[in-house]
C-alpha cells in the first residue's frame, strides 16, 4: 500500500486537479431551474503582487466545501472567480518598479490562479473575468452611462478627501475613522475639487427597505442602516433681521422651535459667505474659518470642546415667537449634513453645552415627568433630551413630543416657512479618481467646458498605452497625447475625454452579473442568464465591505431593476462574513510582525486537503482565529488515519452494527452542520467516527465508502484517490451526499441521568422506549440516589424523555 505521504509527494493532488479540469467536472450546468440552481459567490479578490494569503484560502475553501456539498445534494452549482484588477496598489507598484501595471497585474493574476487551483477549488474557469480587461470595463463604463441617462450622475465642486501620498480623491468609506488613507495610512486632507458624483442618496429609502427581505447577518444590516442614517424631521426658515435673506435649518426636533435661542452655522458653509458684508467682526470670523479648514477631520473629532464665534451685527428671527436671536459659527456644525445650519435650544446636549460656554440664554420648553429631573432641568443644571410636556411653546403647550412635532410641521407648512423633511447621513458617491489604472470615465468635454457622454456604441474607451503614470496630483490621462487626439479625431476639434478614471468600486459592484455571461459583447449579461442564475444564493465576503462594496452592489442592482433589465432588486439572497485568520501570536498577520503564513507553503508541506480542512477546523467561519502550526499537524494526522483505514476494509461481510450506527449519526450531524456552515463541528464529527473505526479490527466497505463521501467536500483529493483505490472508475465528486437511515440513528438503549435538587447523583442505562413511570421508578432505585434521599419522600419527580429524571426533595 502506498502511504498518504507518498501520494502527496507524487503530486497526487495535482493529478486529481488535472482530472477535474479535463473532465470539465465543475463546468456550470446549462439546464437549471429556479429551484435547483445554486449560485455561490466567493468575494472578488484583488490580485496583489504578494500572492494569495490565508484569508483568501479561507474564503475559497469555505465556498468550495459548500459548493461541493450542494452539488452532491443535487444542486446545479455556479461558482466562479475573477479579479478586482484595477486600482492603486498595481499603479503604485508600477511607479516604483517602472513596469506597466497591465504587465504586473496579469502576472499577479496568473500566480493567483495557480495558487487557487492548487487548493483544489471547484470553480468554472470559463467564467473568469478581470476588471482591467477592456471587454469587462466596457461594461463598467456602460453602467456609468446608464446612471447618467437615468439622471443619477452629476458634477460638483466639493471638499473631498484627498490623500497626498496616493495623490487622489477617496470616498468616505476609503478613509479610516481616524482620518487616514485606508491604503497607505497617510492623513487625509480636505480639498475642493470638481468631481463626478453618483446619486446613491436617491436610493436611500430603497436601500433601507431592501434590507428587510434579505438573509444577511443582523449586525451587517444594522451597520448599513446606520450608514444610511435616515432621520425624520423638518426644515425651517429663519429670516435675517432687516434683510430679505433667509437661513434654512434642518431639525429632528421641530417641536422645540419656541425654545430656539440662537443659530449656529457651519464655518465652511455657504451661509457665512453670504452674510459676509453684514458681519461686523469679519476679521475674527475669517480667522476662525481659516483655523477650522486647517484642522484635520481627526482634530475636529478629538477636540470635543465646542468653540465658535458670534456673527456680530447679524440677527435671525425665530419664526415661532418672532424673537431676535444671535447667530454663531462653530465647527460642531457640519457643512456637509443637512443645510449646514442648525437652530439651538435647551434640549440638545451640544447646544446646551455651547450656550453655557458663551452665556447664551436658554429657554426650557419641555417638562420631564420625573419631578427631581424637572427641578434640575428648570435650573439649567442638566440638559433634558427625553419626552415630556411642552410649555413656553405657544400653541404647542401641553402636548408631548410626537403630537407637538406633527402640529408644528403642519403649522410651518401652512405658513410656508418650513416643511417635514427626511435627512440622510449617506452621501452621494464620488467616483472620480485622478489616477491611471482604472476605467476611463466615458464623458467628453470641449474647450468651453461643455460636457457630453460618450455614445454607448463607442465603448469601450480604451486606456491609452503611452502614459507616464507618475503621480502629479493631476490625472495621468491628461498627459497621453494619443488619448486626447483619439477624442478629437472622433468627436471634432476641442473635444477631449474626461481624464479621470472610475473608482474601482464601480468595477466590483457588478462582477457577479458578468460571471453569468462573461464573453457577451452586446450586453453586460444576457437576460436569459440573468433570469436563470440571479440572485446570488450564497455570498461570502469580509465585513470590511459592508458600507462600500455591498451597498454599491445593491444600488447597481436596484438601478438595473428600475431600468427593466432584471426582475429582482437585491443581488445577494444570503450573505455571510468570514473572520480574520490571525498570526500564531494572535495579532493580525502582517509583514511588520513577521507572523504571516503563506498558504502555498502549507499546501506544499501538508497538502491542499490539510490546508482546506485546517482553516475550517480552527473555529467558526465568522470568527477571528489564530493560526496554529500544531493544529495543522493535527488535521494532517486525521487524514493519515483516514488513509490507513483502507487496510481494514475487508471483503467478508462482517456485521459491524456499532460503527454503522455511529456513521449514520455522523451523517446526520455533519449534514445539519453543513447547512449552517458549521464546518468546524462537522469535521469534529468525522474525527470522532474515524477514531472509532480505528478501534475496530475490520471495516465494512459500505461504511468506509460513506465516510469517503462525507469527506469529499472537505478533502476532495484524498477522497478521489481512495475512491479509485476501492476500484471505482468514476469521480467521487459526482456521487450523491449520503442520507442517514432514521432507524440506525435511533438508539436502542440510552443513558438517563438522575438529578436530586438539580445536582447529578447517578445515571442508568435503559431501553429507549422506557415509559415515564418505569424511568422514574428505576431512578429511585439507584444506589447513590437512595443514599442521598435518606429515606425521604420526593416532593416531585420530573422526567425529560430520553434525557433525565429530576427528583426534588
Partner RNA sequence: GCUCGGGUGGUGGAAUGGUAGACACGAGGGACUUAAAAUCCCUUGGUAGCAAUACUGUGCGGGUUCGAGUCCCGCCCCGAGCACCA
User: Using CB under 7 A, which residues numbered 13 to 52 contact RNA?
Assistant: none
Tell me the C-alpha distance between 150 and 563, whole Å: 8
Q: Minimum distance between the CB of residue 229 and RNA, rounded to whole angstroms?
A: 5
DSSP H or E run through 191: strand 188-198
How far is residue 662's CA from residue 42's CA, in Å, rounded to a whole number?
A: 34
Choose, by CB under 7 A, the member of 103, 563, 702, 800 that binds RNA: 800
Identify the CA nearest to 195 among candidates 443, 17, 422.
443
Tell the burial category of 330 from Cβ atoms under 10 Å away from its Cβ (0-12, 13-18, 19+). buried
The phi, psi pair for 540, rounded to 5°, reads: -115, 125
Could you tell me the CA-to-CA distances from 766 to 751, 762, 772, 796 in Å, in that order?
6, 13, 12, 21
- Beta strands (DSSP E) in 488-603 are 496-497, 501-502, 538-541, 575-577, 581-582
Looking at 55, 229, 542, 794, which residue binds RNA (CB under 7 A)? 229
DSSP state of 390: E
Q: Is 239 in the site for RNA (CB under 7 A)?
A: no
d(CA 480, CA 466): 6
Q: Is 278 in the site for RNA (CB under 7 A)?
A: no
Interface stretch with RNA, choices 15-23, 338-346, 373-381, 716-724 (CB under 7 A)? 338-346
Out of 91, 268, 310, 331, point to the residue binding RNA (CB under 7 A).
Answer: 331
Stretch that binds RNA, among 76-84, 337-345, 528-536, 716-724 (CB under 7 A): 337-345
The residue within the footprint of RNA, chosen from 423, 509, 557, 663 (CB under 7 A), is 423
d(CA 558, CA 209): 12
* HSE-up (13 A, CA, CB side) for residue 746: 7
Instruction: Name the strand (E) or helix (H) holding 767.
Output: strand 759-767
Of the pair 164, 425, the CB lying nearest RNA is at 425
- 587 belongs to the binding site for RNA (CB under 7 A): no
Q: Which of 628, 736, 767, 771 is the binder for RNA (CB under 7 A)?
A: 628
252 binds RNA (CB under 7 A): yes
Cα separation values, 126 from 39, 156, 788, Å: 15, 41, 71
| Contact string 506-545 vs RNA (x = CB under 7 A) | -------------------------------------x--
Q: What part of residues 630-689 is at the interface with RNA (CB under 7 A)? A: 630-631, 633-635, 637-638, 640-641, 678, 680-681, 683-684, 687-688
Read off the DSSP letter of residue 574: B
Q: Does 751 bind RNA (CB under 7 A)?
A: yes
Torsion angle, CA of 76/79/80/84, rounded to 10 degrees?
140
* C-beta closer to RNA: residue 354 or 511: 354
Applying CB under 7 A, does 716 fall inside the site for RNA?
Answer: no
**Residue 287 Cβ vs RNA, minimum distance, rounded to whole Å:** 17
Site for RNA in 100-129 (CB under 7 A): none
Q: Please measure the distance between the N-terminal and C-terminal CA atoms of the chain and give it in whole angstroms.
A: 63
Closest distance of CB 648 from RNA, Å: 13
Choose which of 10, 50, 134, 231 interacts with RNA (CB under 7 A).
231
Please report, as residue ranges, which positions from 362 to 421 form the binding site for RNA (by CB under 7 A).
none
Give least dist CB 797 to RNA, A: 9
Q: How far is the CB of 130 from RNA (least distance, A)?
A: 29
Q: Determine which residue in the list 37, 53, 132, 306 makes contact with RNA, applying CB under 7 A.
A: 306
H-helix segments, 118-197: 134-149
Q: Is residue 701 part of the contact set for RNA (CB under 7 A)?
A: no
Q: 95 or 208, CB closer to RNA?
A: 208
Question: Which position among 31, 212, 218, 448 is part of the footprint of RNA (CB under 7 A)?
Answer: 218
Give, in order, the Cα–Cα distances in Å from 478 to each of 213, 434, 475, 535.
45, 10, 6, 40
By C-alpha distance, which of 192, 334, 341, 339 is closest to 264? 341
* 776 part of the interface to RNA, by CB under 7 A: no
Compare residues 218 and 244 and give the one whose CB is closer to RNA.
Answer: 218
Which of the stretches 6-14, 77-85, 245-253, 394-402 binds RNA when contact is defined by CB under 7 A? 245-253
Amino acid at each position: 500500500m502506498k502511504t498518504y505521504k507518498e501520494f502527496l509527494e507524487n503530486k497526487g493532488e495535482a493529478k486529481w486537479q488535472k482530472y477535474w479540469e479535463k473532465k470539465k467536472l465543475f463546468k456550470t450546468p446549462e439546464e437549471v431551474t429556479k429551484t435547483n440552481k445554486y449560485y455561490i459567490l466567493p468575494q472578488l479578490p484583488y490580485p496583489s503582487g504578494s500572492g494569495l494569503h490565508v484569508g483568501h484560502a479561507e474564503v475559497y475553501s469555505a465556498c468550495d466545501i459548500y459548493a461541493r456539498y450542494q452539488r452532491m445534494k443535487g444542486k446545479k452549482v455556479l461558482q466562479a472567480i475573477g479579479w478586482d484588477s484595477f486600482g492603486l496598489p498595481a499603479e503604485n507598484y508600477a511607479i516604483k518598479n517602472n513596469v506597466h501595471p497591465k504587465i504586473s497585474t496579469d502576472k499577479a493574476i496568473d500566480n493567483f490562479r495557480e495558487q487557487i487551483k492548487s487548493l483544489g477549488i471547484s470553480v468554472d474557469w470559463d467564467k473568469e473575468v478581470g476588471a482591467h480587461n477592456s471587454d469587462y470595463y466596457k461594461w463598467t463604463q456602460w453602467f456609468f452611462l446608464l446612471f447618467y441617462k437615468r439622471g443619477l450622475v452629476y458634477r460638483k465642486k466639493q471638499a473631498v478627501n484627498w490623500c497626498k501620498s496616493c495623490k487622489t480623491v477617496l470616498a468616505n468609506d476609503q478613509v479610516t475613522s481616524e482620518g487616514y488613507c485606508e491604503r497607505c495610512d497617510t492623513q487625509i486632507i480636505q480639498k475642493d475639487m470638481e468631481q463626478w458624483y453618483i446619486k446613491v442618496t436617491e436610493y436611500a429609502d430603497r436601500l433601507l427597505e431592501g434590507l428587510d427581505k434579505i438573509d444577511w447577518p443582523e449586525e451587517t444590516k444594522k451597520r448599513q442602516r446606520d450608514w444610511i442614517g435616515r432621520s425624520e424631521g423638518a426644515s425651517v426658515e429663519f429670516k435675517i433681521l432687516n434683510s430679505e435673506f433667509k437661513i434654512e435649518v434642518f431639525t429632528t426636533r421641530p417641536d422645540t422651535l419656541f425654545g430656539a435661542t440662537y443659530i449656529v452655522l457651519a464655518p465652511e458653509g455657504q451661509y457665512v459667505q453670504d452674510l459676509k458684508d453684514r458681519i461686523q467682526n469679519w476679521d475674527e470670523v475669517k480667522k476662525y474659518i481659516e483655523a477650522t479648514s486647517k484642522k484635520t477631520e481627526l482634530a475636529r473629532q478629538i477636540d470635543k470642546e465646542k468653540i465658535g464665534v458670534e456673527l456680530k451685527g447679524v440677527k435671525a428671527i425665530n419664526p415661532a415667537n418672532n424673537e431676535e436671536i444671535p447667530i454663531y459659527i462653530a465647527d460642531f456644525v457640519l457643512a456637509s449634513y443637512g443645510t449646514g445650519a442648525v437652530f439651538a435650544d435647551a434640549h440638545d446636549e451640544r447646544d446646551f453645552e455651547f450656550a453655557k460656554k458663551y452665556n447664551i440664554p436658554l429657554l426650557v420648553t419641555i417638562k420631564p415627568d420625573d419631578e427631581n429631573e424637572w427641578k434640575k432641568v428648570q435650573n439649567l443644571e442638566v440638559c433634558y433630551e427625553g419626552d415630556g410636556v411642552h410649555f413656553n411653546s405657544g400653541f404647542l403647550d401641553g402636548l408631548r413630543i410626537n403630537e407637538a412635532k406633527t402640529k408644528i410641521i403642519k403649522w410651518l407648512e401652512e405658513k410656508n416657512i418650513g416643511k417635514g423633511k427626511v435627512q440622510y447621513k449617506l452621501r452621494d458617491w464620488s467616483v472620480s479618481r485622478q489616477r491611471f489604472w482604472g476605467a476611463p470615465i466615458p464623458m467628453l468635454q470641449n474647450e468651453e467646458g461643455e460636457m457630453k457622454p460618450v455614445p454607448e456604441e463607442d465603448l469601450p474607451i480604451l486606456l491609452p498605452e503611452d502614459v507616464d503614470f507618475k503621480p502629479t496630483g493631476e490625472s495621468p490621462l491628461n498627459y497621453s497625447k494619443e488619448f486626447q487626439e483619439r477624442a478629437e479625431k472622433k468627436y471634432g476639434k476641442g473635444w477631449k475625454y474626461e481624464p479621470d478614471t472610475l473608482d474601482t468600486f464601480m468595477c466590483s459592484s457588478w462582477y457577479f452579473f458578468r460571471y453569468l455571461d462573461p464573453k457577451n459583447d452586446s450586453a453586460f449579461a444576457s437576460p436569459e442568464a440573468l433570469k436563470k442564475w440571479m440572485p446570488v444564493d450564497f455570498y461570502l465576503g469580509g465585513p470590511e465591505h459592508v458600507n462600500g462594496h455591498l451597498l454599491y452592489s445593491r444600488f447597481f442592482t436596484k438601478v438595473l431593476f428600475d431600468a427593466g433589465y432584471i426582475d429582482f432588486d437585491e443581488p445577494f439572497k444570503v450573505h455571510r462574513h468570514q473572520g480574520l485568520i490571525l498570526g500564531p501570536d494572535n495579532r493580525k498577520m502582517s509583514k511588520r510582525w513577521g507572523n504571516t503564513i503563506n498558504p502555498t507553503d502549507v499546501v506544499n508541506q501538508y497538502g491542499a486537503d490539510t490546508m482546506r480542512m485546517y482553516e475550517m477546523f480552527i473555529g467558526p467561519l465568522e470568527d477571528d482565529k489564530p493560526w496554529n502550526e500544531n493544529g495543522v499537524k493535527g488535521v494532517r494526522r486525521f487524514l493519515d488515519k483516514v488513509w490507513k483505514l483502507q487496510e481494514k476494509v475487508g471483503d467478508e461481510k462482517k456485521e459491524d452494527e456499532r460503527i454503522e450506527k455511529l456513521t449514520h449519526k455522523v451523517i446526520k450531524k455533519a449534514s445539519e452542520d453543513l447547512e449552517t456552515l458549521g464546518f468546524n463541528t462537522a469535521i469534529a464529527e468525522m474525527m470522532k467516527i474515524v477514531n472509532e473505526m480505528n478501534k475496530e479490527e475490520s471495516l465494512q466497505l459500505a461504511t468506509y465508502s460513506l465516510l469517503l463521501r462525507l469527506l469529499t467536500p472537505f478533502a476532495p483529493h484524498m477522497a478521489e484517490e481512495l475512491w479509485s483505490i476501492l476500484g471505482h472508475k468514476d469521480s467521487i465528486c459526482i456521487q450523491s451526499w449520503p442520507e442517514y437511515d432514521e432507524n440506525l440513528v435511533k438508539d436502542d438503549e440510552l443513558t438517563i441521568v438522575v438529578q436530586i435538587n438539580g445536582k447529578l447523583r447517578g445515571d442508568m442505562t435503559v431501553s429507549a422506549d422506557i415509559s415515564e413511570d418505569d424511568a422514574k421508578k428505576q431512578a429511585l432505585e439507584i444506589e447513590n440516589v437512595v443514599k442521598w434521599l435518606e429515606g425521604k419522600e420526593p416532593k416531585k419527580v420530573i422526567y425529560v424523555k430520553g434525557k433525565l429524571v429530576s427528583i426534588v426533595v
